[in-house]
Amino acid sequence: MSVTDLEPYTTEDGREIGGVVMEMKNITLRFGGVVAIKDISFDIRQGEIRAIIGPNGAGKSSMLNVISGFYTPSEGQVWYQGQPRPAMKPFEIARQGVARTFQNIALFEGMSTLDNIMTGRLTHMKSSMLSQGLWWGKAQQEEAKHREVVEKVIDFLEIQNIRKTPVGRLPYGLKKRVELARALAAEPQILLLDEPMAGMNVEEKEDMSRFILDVNDEFGTTIALIEHDMGVVMDLSDRVVVMDYGKKIGDGTPDEVRNNQDVIDAYLGVAN
Amino acid sequence: MEFLKKLFVDPFVEMVSYPDFLMQVLWEGLVSGVLYSLIALGFVLIFRSSRIFNFAQGIMVVFAALTLVGFHAMGIPAWVSVIFTLGVMALLAITIERVVLRPLVGQPDIILFMATIGITLFLIGGGELIFGGETKRMITSDLGIPTGSVDFEPFGGLLILQHLDITSVAAAVVLVTGLLIFLNKTRMGRAIRALGDDHQAALSVGISLRTVWVLVWFIAGVIALMTGIFWGARAGVSFALEVIAYKALPVLMLGGLESITGAIVGGLAIGLLEKLFEIYWGQPLLGGGTETWFAFVLALIVLLFRPQGLFGEKIIERV
Amino acid sequence: MFYNTAGQFKTSYTKDQSLFPVKQDAILLGVVLLCAWIIFPMTASEFTFKTMLMPVLCYSLAALGLNVLTGFAGQLSLGTAAFMGVGAFACYKLITIFPEMNIIVAILLSGVFSSAVGVAFGLPSLRIKGFYLAIATLAAQFFLVWLFEKWHWLSNHNPSGAIEVPNIDMFGITVAGPNAAPVTQYYLILAIVTLITIVTINLTRGNQGRIWKATRDMDIAAELIGINLLKSKLTAFAVSSYIVGVAGALFVFLNLGAAEPNFFDIPLSFKILFIAIIGGLGSVMGNFMGAILIVALPVVIKFLPDAIGLEINPATVEHLNIMTVGALIIFFLIIEPHGLARLWQLIREKLIIWPFPH
């Protein structure tokens, strides 16, 4: 199975992988004089789990921020669903079906778990402020309808018992799970995960890996993730991009990447 | 057309025709600006060392001036009263650290800010309770501050400089210089700056948070006393003085909350510009009284174009 | 025991999302409403109406408006009083330009003007954040009060710049001005306050409320999950200023009867801010508790020494009052930064399991 082959195919475990949904074309990102990303291109295909890995400071998070629209690339373009994506605000990109989680948890601490996950639905909610103010007809129905979707996500991620707990009181691992729930509730086309397993113990990592695989399997959601833990990444993902010092040094299936000499050098260090 | 002329031509014609008057206006703006800078400086020190947006800075000015006048009224000699007042300001700093700040360590910024509003009210109520609400005269001559004036005749006109104003500018320059030396050359001064850069790191190298806080609040108290003496000498001592304290806020917007240079330059700029605007545009075109809002609107406009203030560093947002 | 929630099961999401999922809360609110609508009006004297009941309602409403902006959307404002002023002056101009206009309509319309001014001053909020924004709202405070004083058209060329409310009839009953009966005015205020409170509760518990809270809690994350920050902040400014403006118009037209421009100066802004803080930021009911406390405090301070036979002069009462409010703010921030509303919540949690805490 080669990466250049763009025909849809079925994986060994029976998941459908489709055509390209998103493509980075020669992305460069600069902050003043610092070049965070240097001329990187890669694609993400429908239904796959795509990982971006690399040592600290490789530019992985910057790359994710470009995809989610938080940073605008200095050069190059992001193609989404076959078209170049025009300059947009991050919230507009979210409305196109790109949802994400954050490396340092970014939950809304003043709200309950349920409300946090409900915010994931807001790109789908349409009732006017007037109707909400009167809590009559459409607003009320809409609230109940979206609550149903959210409850499914809550069941799926097994967080029923913390439904009404303020998220500020939750332990770290659960917060990460609530964040995933919020992103899932948006029913995204592409789900971006920024170090979903950072700071977790082995058990929590296993739980999270299982959820990621289940999400991909059950909903067919395309997932792009950044991760430090090589072992986890290689087990989870269909294809891997490897970055180092802002450049792409490898791209392919986990096996291909594992045998790539540049990647081995970057991770193990090379004697100069 | 007529209005545009009044707006864009007349004021400048006026300035050029009567340069002595212009100089007088600039001088008075400068004197106010110096006092704004001073208050803003006390503010910046507290913000840098503790992230507290100290709304009470202005009221401390009034409180210090009232205390000074109050001691003197009890028959205590002027300079001894100054020392006593400094003692009260030190006591105030310790009390605030002990009663307000210590229990609130680690709370969000907005909570601490509101606590300083609480302090403001407490000081207003307490001050009026002890000293009464009526306006008092600052004990200018008892402190040995000269009260006459010098006249110049530039361009055949007349420029009057009050001795009081000259003294206040000189004293402010001395105080600011002393403060800068203290901050840059002494151990304690460096500790204050270190705390401003990184709380955790400063604590881990053995800087005592409490000592630094008491110290900066005391310094803010000293600055307040000084501002109170000179502003009180011009306008009388009462809680109406707190209005000038509000002026320090746009100075901070303009200069940036953390920049000492910003506080000084911003204060001077606002002092000068609001005076110019009031005399040449405010009074003839808008019915006067523009000094209450001009500084705020100016700062607002500047901030729209430079959200980090004139001297703040550009913030790169991260997630 | 009295607050036992066992056995109250919800069988649909709509029911679970209803305003009072717990029956006892609904009963308690019923009692409060009964007091406000029937018992107080039957027992209160004219003096109590004028100096306690009506001010409490007006302050509560203004604090509710501020709370939408500061407590829910996280944008600190120090210029509330100026927006109350916009509401009051707008109402004054409306009833002098259109004398036929129903006073209730005029009051509700005047909020639209303060709302527009609020949005204008809210525009910088996308670029200016936190304390800088708080200072920026002071620009509105000082500029608007200056405008009230200098622009004599606003007060119909009254030399002092003050507005005086004429006698206004509604369906043959005098409702505003010197001839109006306090009880009529009280009911009008109560009706409007109740209406706006209900709408605000609905707004803040649904989608719009979540959008505001997300903006408050973490604006960057909010934008990345699809919230238009500018829109979220501006709607908060619009709704907040509307409520504040209506509160200002109510206060002047149905309670005070007259107001000078400097009535809307910064001390009033602070008073409203304290009510919101002490009541609890991000709470609706807290505003009412805070307002009751602020209005009742000077009365208590005045009557307490009287009761034990101490002579105390009015100026001292005023000073003691200011001091106590300051101390109370600090006290509350230390004990419970979320104010009376949270305190009540904690008591309620205790009550639910009382008297068997396990």
Which tokens hold the place of C240?
Answer: 């907040």
Of the candidates B125, B290, B293, the beta carbon closest to that of C323 is on: B125
Question: How far apart, in whole angstroms, are the C-alpha atoms of residue C54 and residue C68?
Answer: 21
Cβ–Cβ contact B70 with C under 8 A: no
Contact B319 A65 (CB under 8 A): yes
Contact B319 A31 (CB under 8 A): no
Give the predicted TM-score (pTM) of the model.
Answer: 0.88
Averaged pLDDT of chain A: 86
pLDDT for B239 equals 73
pLDDT for A2 equals 39
Q: Is B309 left (phi over 0), alpha (psi -120 to 50) or beta?
A: left
List C-alpha distances in Å: C215 to A178, A243, C74.
18, 33, 7
Which tokens hold the place of C86?
Answer: 């916009």
Q: Which of B183-187, B290-294, C7-11, C184-188 has the lowest mean pLDDT?
A: C7-11
Residue B201 carries which side chain, given as an amino acid letter?
A
B316/chain A closest Cα distance in angstroms: 9
What is the bridge-based pairing of β-strands A190-194 and A222-226? parallel
Per the CB < 8 A criterion, the answer to whether B129 and B70 are in contact is no
Which residue is listed with tokens 């407590």?
C71
Residue A166 carries which side chain, given as an amino acid letter?
P
Of the candidates A90, A94, A133, the beta carbon closest to that of C203 is on: A133
Contact B286 C150 (CB under 8 A): yes
Residue A96 carries which side chain, given as an amino acid letter?
Q
Mutate to test the interface with B, among A60, A64, A68, A71 (most CBs of B within 10 A): A71
pLDDT for C141 equals 92
Instruction: State mean pLDDT over A138-156.
Output: 87
B158/chain C closest Cα distance in angstroms: 32
Residue A271 above 60 pLDDT? Answer: no
Which band of pLDDT confidence, cut at 50, 70 and 90, is reported for residue C357?
low
Q: What does the domain layout of chain C look like in residue ranges?
A: 45-353
Residue A75 carries which side chain, given as an amino acid letter?
E
Percentage of residues in chain A having pLDDT higher than 70: 96
pLDDT for A4 equals 45
Instruction: State mean pLDDT over A141-164.
Output: 89
pLDDT tens by residue, B61-115 = 888 988 888 888 888 888 888 899 999 999 999 998 888 888 887 777 778 888 8
Per the CB < 8 A criterion, the answer to whether A229 and A197 are in contact is yes
Question: How far apart, in whole angstroms, are the C-alpha atoms of residue C133 and residue C127?
Answer: 9
What class is the A15-268 domain?
A: alpha beta
Which band of pLDDT confidence, cut at 50, 70 and 90, is reported for residue C82?
very high
| Residues of A in Cβ contact (< 8 Å) with B317 | 70
Residue B136 DSSP code = B
Contact B114 C135 (CB under 8 A): no
Tell me, what's the ipTM? 0.87
Question: How far apart, in whole angstroms, are the C-alpha atoms of residue C121 and residue C142?
Answer: 12
Which band of pLDDT confidence, cut at 50, 70 and 90, is reported for residue C2?
low
Instruction: State mean pLDDT over C115-132.
Output: 86
Contact C221 A134 (CB under 8 A): no
Contact A102 B316 (CB under 8 A): no
B317/chain A closest Cα distance in angstroms: 9
Which band of pLDDT confidence, cut at 50, 70 and 90, is reported for residue C128?
confident
Cβ–Cβ contact B120 with C under 8 A: yes
Angle at B260 between CA B105 and CA C270, to 5 degrees: 55
Per the CB < 8 A criterion, the answer to whether A90 and C224 are in contact is yes
Helix (H) / strand (E) containing A44: strand A34-45
C92/chain A closest Cα distance in angstroms: 27
Residue C54 carries which side chain, given as an amino acid letter?
M
Q: What does the domain layout of chain A look like in residue ranges?
A: 15-268
Of the candidates B125, B290, B297, the beta carbon closest to that of C326 is on: B125
Of the candidates C12, C227, C239, the beta carbon closest to that of A122 is on: C227
| Residues of C in Cβ contact (< 8 Å) with B115 | 329-330, 333
What is the bridge-based pairing of β-strands A190-194 and A98-100? parallel
pLDDT tens by residue, C14-59 = 777 766 667 777 788 888 888 888 888 878 787 888 888 899 999 9
Per the CB < 8 A criterion, the answer to whether A132 and C202 are in contact is yes
| Residues of A in Cβ contact (< 8 Å) with C224 | 68-70, 90-91, 94, 100, 106
pLDDT tens by residue, C216-258 = 998 889 999 999 999 999 999 999 999 999 999 999 998 888 8
Q: Which of C126-135, C181-190, C215-224 has the lowest mean pLDDT?
A: C126-135
Q: Which residues of A77-103 are buried (b: 16+ CB within 10 A; e: fewer)?
A: ebebeeeebeeebbbbbbbbbbbbbbb
Per the CB < 8 A criterion, the answer to whether B20 and B158 are in contact is yes
| Residues of B in Cβ contact (< 8 Å) with A30 | none
Give A100's strand partners.
A192
Which tokens hold the place of C1?
Answer: 């025991």
pLDDT for C193 equals 93
Residue A3 above 50 pLDDT? Answer: no
Residues of chain B with pLDDT under 70: 133, 196, 312-319
Which band of pLDDT confidence, cut at 50, 70 and 90, is reported for residue C116?
very high
Per-residue DSSP letters for C299-311? Answer: HHHHHHHHHTT--
Cβ–Cβ contact B109 with C under 8 A: yes
List C-alpha distances in Å: A242 to A42, A189, A232.
11, 23, 15
Cβ–Cβ contact B307 with C under 8 A: yes
The more confident residue out of A10 and C143 is C143
The more confident residue out of C6 and B130 is B130
Chains B–C, number of C-beta pairs less than 8 Å apart: 133
pLDDT tens by residue, C260-318 = 898 998 889 988 998 998 888 888 888 999 999 889 888 888 777 777 777 777 778 88
Contact B319 A106 (CB under 8 A): yes
CATH topology of domain C45-353: ABC transporter involved in vitamin B12 uptake, BtuC (1.10.3470)
| Residues of B in Cβ contact (< 8 Å) with C145 | 292
Helix (H) / strand (E) containing C169: strand C168-170
pLDDT tens by residue, A67-86 = 988 898 999 999 998 888 88
Which tokens hold the place of B118?
Answer: 């609480």
| Residues of B in Cβ contact (< 8 Å) with A65 | 319
pLDDT for A179 equals 92
Question: How far apart, in whole angstroms, are the C-alpha atoms of residue C6 and residue B164?
Answer: 75
Residue A269 above 70 pLDDT? Answer: no
pLDDT for B314 equals 63
Where would I find the H helices in C172-280? 182-205, 207-217, 219-224, 229-250, 266-279
Averaged pLDDT of chain C: 86
Question: How far apart, in whole angstroms, are the C-alpha atoms of residue C80 and residue C271?
Answer: 9
Q: What are phi and psi of A250, to 5 degrees?
A: -165, 150
Q: Which of B203, B307, B308, B186 is nearest to B258 (CA)?
A: B308
pLDDT for A108 equals 92
The structural domains of chain B, ordered by start, are 2-305 (1.10.3470)
Question: How far apart, in whole angstroms, are the C-alpha atoms of residue C137 and residue C118?
Answer: 10
Per the CB < 8 A criterion, the answer to whether B303 and C135 are in contact is no
